[in-house]
A and B are shown apart, each in its own frame.
Chain A
Protein backbone atom coordinates (compact mmCIF):
# COMPACT_ATOMS: atom_id res chain seq x y z
CA UNK A 1 0.00 0.00 0.00
CA UNK A 2 1.18 3.48 -0.87
CA UNK A 3 2.01 5.84 2.00
CA UNK A 4 0.64 8.79 0.05
CA UNK A 5 -3.13 8.61 -0.31
CA UNK A 6 -4.99 10.40 -3.06
CA UNK A 7 -8.73 10.82 -3.48
CA UNK A 8 -10.70 10.39 -5.59
CA UNK A 9 -9.07 7.76 -7.79
CA UNK A 10 -11.20 8.75 -10.77
CA UNK A 11 -12.98 12.02 -11.52
CA UNK A 12 -15.11 13.04 -14.47
CA UNK A 13 -16.16 16.67 -14.60
CA UNK A 14 -17.58 19.19 -16.99
CA UNK A 15 -15.74 22.32 -17.97
CA UNK A 16 -17.90 24.49 -15.72
CA UNK A 17 -17.61 22.34 -12.61
CA UNK A 18 -15.54 23.00 -9.50
CA UNK A 19 -13.88 20.03 -7.85
CA UNK A 20 -10.92 19.30 -5.61
CA UNK A 21 -8.26 16.61 -5.52
CA UNK A 22 -6.96 15.58 -2.13
CA UNK A 23 -3.64 14.15 -1.00
CA UNK A 24 -2.56 12.98 2.44
CA UNK A 25 0.70 11.67 3.87
CA UNK A 26 1.66 10.69 7.40
CA UNK A 27 5.39 10.19 6.96
CA UNK A 28 6.28 13.52 8.56
CA UNK A 29 7.43 14.86 5.21
CA UNK A 30 7.67 18.65 4.88
CA UNK A 31 7.65 18.90 1.08
CA UNK A 32 4.65 18.01 -1.04
CA UNK A 33 4.22 18.07 -4.80
CA UNK A 34 1.58 18.03 -7.53
CA UNK A 35 2.41 16.50 -10.90
CA UNK A 36 0.41 16.15 -14.10
CA UNK A 37 1.04 13.12 -16.29
CA UNK A 38 -0.31 12.57 -19.79
CA UNK A 39 -0.41 9.11 -21.30
CA UNK A 40 3.00 7.72 -22.28
CA UNK A 41 4.78 10.79 -20.91
CA UNK A 42 6.80 11.43 -17.75
CA UNK A 43 5.24 13.38 -14.88
CA UNK A 44 5.39 17.16 -15.20
CA UNK A 45 5.88 19.17 -12.03
CA UNK A 46 3.11 21.66 -11.27
CA UNK A 47 3.57 22.87 -7.69
CA UNK A 48 5.84 22.30 -4.71
CA UNK A 49 5.03 23.15 -1.11
CA UNK A 50 7.68 23.36 1.57
CA UNK A 51 6.62 23.70 5.19
CA UNK A 52 3.10 24.49 4.00
CA UNK A 53 4.25 27.41 1.85
CA UNK A 54 4.18 27.43 -1.92
CA UNK A 55 7.78 27.11 -3.07
CA UNK A 56 7.52 26.37 -6.77
CA UNK A 57 4.77 27.14 -9.29
CA UNK A 58 5.73 25.92 -12.74
CA UNK A 59 3.65 28.56 -14.54
CA UNK A 60 0.48 26.56 -14.08
CA UNK A 61 -2.78 28.16 -15.32
CA UNK A 62 -4.88 29.76 -12.59
CA UNK A 63 -7.69 27.27 -13.15
CA UNK A 64 -5.53 25.02 -10.96
CA UNK A 65 -5.30 26.31 -7.40
CA UNK A 66 -3.20 24.44 -4.83
CA UNK A 67 -3.71 24.58 -1.09
CA UNK A 68 -1.75 23.11 1.81
CA UNK A 69 -3.93 23.30 4.94
CA UNK A 70 -1.36 21.52 7.11
CA UNK A 71 1.80 19.49 6.83
CA UNK A 72 -0.07 16.29 6.03
CA UNK A 73 -2.59 17.53 3.51
CA UNK A 74 -2.39 18.93 0.01
CA UNK A 75 -5.35 19.92 -2.13
CA UNK A 76 -5.68 20.89 -5.76
CA UNK A 77 -8.78 22.94 -6.54
CA UNK A 78 -10.04 22.73 -10.10
CA UNK A 79 -12.27 25.22 -11.88
CA UNK A 80 -13.19 25.80 -15.50
CA UNK A 81 -10.84 23.12 -16.78
CA UNK A 82 -10.28 22.39 -20.45
CA UNK A 83 -10.37 19.01 -22.22
CA UNK A 84 -6.56 19.09 -22.51
CA UNK A 85 -6.38 19.04 -18.72
CA UNK A 86 -7.50 15.41 -18.77
CA UNK A 87 -4.60 13.47 -17.27
CA UNK A 88 -3.34 11.52 -14.29
CA UNK A 89 -2.63 13.88 -11.38
CA UNK A 90 0.00 12.60 -8.99
CA UNK A 91 0.79 13.80 -5.52
CA UNK A 92 4.18 13.17 -3.94
CA UNK A 93 5.99 13.97 -0.73
CA UNK A 94 9.59 14.03 0.44
CA UNK A 95 11.47 14.86 3.61
CA UNK A 96 12.14 18.43 2.55
CA UNK A 97 13.69 20.88 0.15
CA UNK A 98 17.32 21.68 0.78
CA UNK A 99 20.70 20.85 -0.61
CA UNK A 100 21.09 18.27 2.10
CA UNK A 101 17.79 16.61 1.22
CA UNK A 102 18.06 16.40 -2.55
CA UNK A 103 19.01 12.79 -2.10
CA UNK A 104 15.71 11.91 -0.47
CA UNK A 105 13.29 10.20 -2.84
CA UNK A 106 9.85 11.47 -3.52
CA UNK A 107 7.07 9.09 -2.56
CA UNK A 108 4.10 9.08 -4.90
CA UNK A 109 0.43 8.30 -4.52
CA UNK A 110 -1.66 6.25 -6.94
CA UNK A 111 -2.94 9.39 -8.63
CA UNK A 112 -6.33 10.71 -9.68
CA UNK A 113 -7.39 10.00 -13.26
CA UNK A 114 -9.19 13.13 -14.35
CA UNK A 115 -11.42 13.35 -17.41
CA UNK A 116 -12.85 16.65 -18.60
CA UNK A 117 -15.95 16.42 -20.75
Chain B
Protein backbone atom coordinates (compact mmCIF):
# COMPACT_ATOMS: atom_id res chain seq x y z
CA UNK B 1 0.00 0.00 0.00
CA UNK B 2 1.06 3.54 -0.64
CA UNK B 3 1.11 6.13 2.08
CA UNK B 4 2.21 9.76 2.35
CA UNK B 5 2.62 11.48 5.68
CA UNK B 6 2.84 15.23 6.17
CA UNK B 7 3.26 15.49 9.90
CA UNK B 8 2.98 19.26 10.03
CA UNK B 9 -0.69 20.21 9.98
CA UNK B 10 -0.16 23.95 10.16
CA UNK B 11 2.88 26.20 10.01
CA UNK B 12 2.89 29.91 10.68
CA UNK B 13 5.88 32.12 9.80
CA UNK B 14 6.66 35.77 9.36
CA UNK B 15 7.55 37.08 5.93
CA UNK B 16 11.19 36.53 4.88
CA UNK B 17 11.60 33.52 7.14
CA UNK B 18 12.66 30.23 5.58
CA UNK B 19 10.25 27.33 6.03
CA UNK B 20 10.53 23.59 5.36
CA UNK B 21 7.54 21.36 4.73
CA UNK B 22 8.14 17.70 5.49
CA UNK B 23 6.92 14.72 3.49
CA UNK B 24 7.54 11.05 4.24
CA UNK B 25 6.28 8.32 1.95
CA UNK B 26 5.85 4.54 1.93
CA UNK B 27 5.72 2.28 -1.09
CA UNK B 28 6.94 -1.19 -2.03
CA UNK B 29 7.48 -0.20 -5.64
CA UNK B 30 10.98 0.46 -6.86
CA UNK B 31 9.69 2.88 -9.48
CA UNK B 32 7.57 5.71 -8.20
CA UNK B 33 7.06 9.43 -8.56
CA UNK B 34 6.65 12.16 -6.01
CA UNK B 35 4.89 15.45 -6.50
CA UNK B 36 4.26 18.67 -4.62
CA UNK B 37 1.11 20.69 -5.23
CA UNK B 38 0.09 24.08 -3.88
CA UNK B 39 -3.57 24.89 -3.21
CA UNK B 40 -4.28 28.59 -2.66
CA UNK B 41 -7.67 29.71 -1.31
CA UNK B 42 -9.02 29.86 -4.87
CA UNK B 43 -9.07 26.06 -4.87
CA UNK B 44 -6.94 25.04 -7.83
CA UNK B 45 -4.13 22.59 -7.14
CA UNK B 46 -1.02 23.98 -8.77
CA UNK B 47 1.67 21.50 -9.77
CA UNK B 48 5.08 22.53 -8.38
CA UNK B 49 7.51 19.69 -8.94
CA UNK B 50 7.90 16.02 -9.87
CA UNK B 51 10.70 13.70 -8.80
CA UNK B 52 11.21 10.09 -9.85
CA UNK B 53 12.65 7.39 -7.62
CA UNK B 54 15.84 7.11 -9.62
CA UNK B 55 16.79 10.75 -9.41
CA UNK B 56 17.97 11.92 -6.01
CA UNK B 57 19.30 15.23 -7.19
CA UNK B 58 18.01 18.14 -5.22
CA UNK B 59 16.33 20.87 -7.16
CA UNK B 60 16.08 24.59 -6.79
CA UNK B 61 13.61 26.82 -8.56
CA UNK B 62 13.81 30.42 -7.46
CA UNK B 63 12.89 30.54 -3.77
CA UNK B 64 11.75 26.91 -3.81
CA UNK B 65 13.99 23.91 -3.24
CA UNK B 66 13.35 20.23 -2.77
CA UNK B 67 15.40 17.61 -0.94
CA UNK B 68 14.75 13.99 -1.92
CA UNK B 69 16.34 11.29 0.23
CA UNK B 70 15.49 7.67 -0.53
CA UNK B 71 17.35 6.47 2.57
CA UNK B 72 14.79 8.20 4.78
CA UNK B 73 11.88 8.07 2.28
CA UNK B 74 11.52 11.80 2.47
CA UNK B 75 10.85 14.53 -0.06
CA UNK B 76 10.99 17.83 1.79
CA UNK B 77 10.16 21.24 0.38
CA UNK B 78 11.82 24.47 1.48
CA UNK B 79 10.67 28.00 0.74
CA UNK B 80 13.39 30.57 1.21
CA UNK B 81 12.50 34.13 2.19
CA UNK B 82 8.78 33.35 2.40
CA UNK B 83 6.21 35.81 1.13
CA UNK B 84 2.55 36.37 1.95
CA UNK B 85 1.63 34.95 -1.47
CA UNK B 86 3.11 31.63 -0.37
CA UNK B 87 0.21 31.19 2.04
CA UNK B 88 -1.64 28.09 0.88
CA UNK B 89 -2.14 24.40 1.58
CA UNK B 90 0.71 22.29 0.28
CA UNK B 91 0.21 18.64 -0.64
CA UNK B 92 2.84 16.01 -1.19
CA UNK B 93 1.67 13.11 -3.40
CA UNK B 94 2.93 9.74 -4.58
CA UNK B 95 2.27 7.87 -7.82
CA UNK B 96 3.28 4.20 -7.98
CA UNK B 97 2.31 1.13 -9.95
CA UNK B 98 1.44 -1.10 -6.99
CA UNK B 99 1.49 -4.24 -9.11
CA UNK B 100 -0.59 -2.69 -11.85
CA UNK B 101 -3.51 -1.69 -9.67
CA UNK B 102 -2.78 1.96 -9.20
CA UNK B 103 -2.54 3.45 -12.63
CA UNK B 104 -3.76 6.99 -12.50
CA UNK B 105 -3.94 7.18 -8.72
CA UNK B 106 -2.23 9.82 -6.68
CA UNK B 107 -1.84 9.14 -2.98
CA UNK B 108 -1.95 12.49 -1.21
CA UNK B 109 -0.65 13.46 2.18
CA UNK B 110 -3.01 15.28 4.52
CA UNK B 111 -1.56 18.63 3.54
CA UNK B 112 0.24 21.37 5.42
CA UNK B 113 -1.44 24.75 5.85
CA UNK B 114 1.21 27.44 5.53
CA UNK B 115 0.40 30.95 6.70
CA UNK B 116 2.92 33.70 6.04
CA UNK B 117 2.29 36.86 8.04
CA UNK B 118 3.45 40.28 6.84
Contacts and interface: CB of A to CB of B under 8 A. Distances in A.
Interface residues of A, number: 29
Interface string B33-47: 101010000111111
A90 B45 contact: yes
Contacts, number: 65
B106 A45 contact: yes
Interface string A27-66: 0000101000000111101001010000110000000000
B104 A105 contact: no
Contact of B43 (A56, A98, A103, A111): A111
Interface of B: 31-33, 35, 37, 42-47, 50, 52, 91, 95-97, 103-106, 108-111, 113
Interface of A: 2, 31, 33, 40-43, 45, 48, 50, 55-56, 88, 90, 92, 94, 97-99, 102-103, 105-111, 113
Q: Which 7 A-B pairs have the closest CB atoms?
A: A42-B108, A108-B45, A111-B43, A105-B47, A97-B104, A97-B103, A110-B44
